[in-house]
Amino acid sequence: MQKPKSADVDFASTTSPTPGSAKSDPILVADKIVRQFGGLTAVNVDHLEIQRGSITALIGPNGAGKTTFFNLLTGYDSPNSGTWSFNGRELNGIPPHKVARLGMVRTFQLTKALYRLTVIENMALGARNQKGESVLRSVFPWIWRAQEAEIRARAIEILRKFKLLEKQDDFAAALSGGQRKLLEMARALMVEPEMIMLDEPMAGVNPALKQSLLEHIKELRTEGKTVLFVEHDMDMVHEISDWVIVMAQGAVIAEGTPASVMGNEEVIAAYLGAHHNDDLSASQEGA
């Protein structure tokens, strides 16, 4: 895993707050990504760079194309045109499981906790290079037992941090919606990704849990990981993001620090009139 070259806050002050601006040390670069469904253009991103080791928020009204963009970047969907690369490696046509192996792991807007597996099984699943997952070696338990124990230990540590430890033997189906979101994020961490892409990680999570989640995400940054997340909760966005990207109608309309983006006229215009139940806390003065 490459170490980020710049400290988290520094890059924000040295980067131009314009859509598609260049970053000092980009981990992800996307060019001219277009995705059309019939006559509708869902995504049309001219140029985008994500700074390595930063926490970047991707915001925008519903229908802006954020989740579609996520799907395109991680290989769950193919664009009509465009290229993008991760750590310099081109990702066109790479299937989703390979994208994950390269270090880019995502979560889903509609949680995909694996219901009929227990919490600890969900976690253990995330670990990479498991000897026991090979069909031939699975028949000989002594080959994989030791590694399995290590994986479980690691999983327990993460579950403890996420306050899910006492649920470890429950089926994921028995968890509340917010707990399942946490599980999905915890499971993604088991993959030991370089970049983690969270699709609405706060949705449905109770306020107490939200705070600890924010702390976890900041911790990721300390560990050198890059975080890109989609959110509607502007308080959260303001609190932890180093950088904010705003999408509307498939295109990037603004980039910048949370403060600069919140006051941006175009951004406010994009949100007005759309159905929303978030808090646009810092923006309304000039409207």
Whose Cβ is closer to another protein: residue 114's or residue 214's?
114
CB of 131 to another protein, least distance (A): 8
CB of 93 to another protein, least distance (A): 15
String of b and e for 46-56 (b: at least 16 CB within 10 Å)? Answer: eebbbbbbbbb
Sequence-separated (6 or more) residues with CB below 8 Å from residue 119: 159, 164, 167, 168, 169, 170, 171, 172, 175, 183
Sequence-separated (6 or more) residues with CB below 8 Å from residue 5: 24, 25, 52
Whose Cβ is closer to another protein: residue 18's or residue 134's?
134
CB of 232 to another protein, least distance (A): 22
Residues in the chain: 287
CB of 112 to another protein, least distance (A): 4
Whose Cβ is closer to another protein: residue 135's or residue 208's?
135
Whose Cβ is closer to another protein: residue 23's or residue 187's?
187
CB of 67 to another protein, least distance (A): 13
Whose Cβ is closer to another protein: residue 63's or residue 132's?
132
State how far the Cα of 23 lies from the Cα of 26, in Å rounded to an integer. 6
Whose Cβ is closer to another protein: residue 100's or residue 237's?
100
Whose Cβ is closer to another protein: residue 75's or residue 250's?
75
What residues make contact with another protein under the rule CB under 8 A?
74, 76, 95-98, 100-101, 105-108, 112-117, 121, 124-126, 128, 130-135, 138-139, 141, 144, 148, 171, 173, 187-188, 190-191
CB of 117 to another protein, least distance (A): 6
State how far the Cα of 224 lies from the Cα of 4, in Å rounded to an integer. 6
C-alpha pair distances (Å), 10 with each of 19, 56, 174, 180, 185: 19, 14, 43, 34, 27
Sequence-separated (6 or more) residues with CB below 8 Å from residue 97: none
| C-beta of residue 159 within 8 angstroms of C-beta of residue 170 | no
CB of 107 to another protein, least distance (A): 7
State how far the Cα of 221 lies from the Cα of 194, in Å rounded to an integer. 10
State how far the Cα of 201 lies from the Cα of 178, in Å rounded to an integer. 9
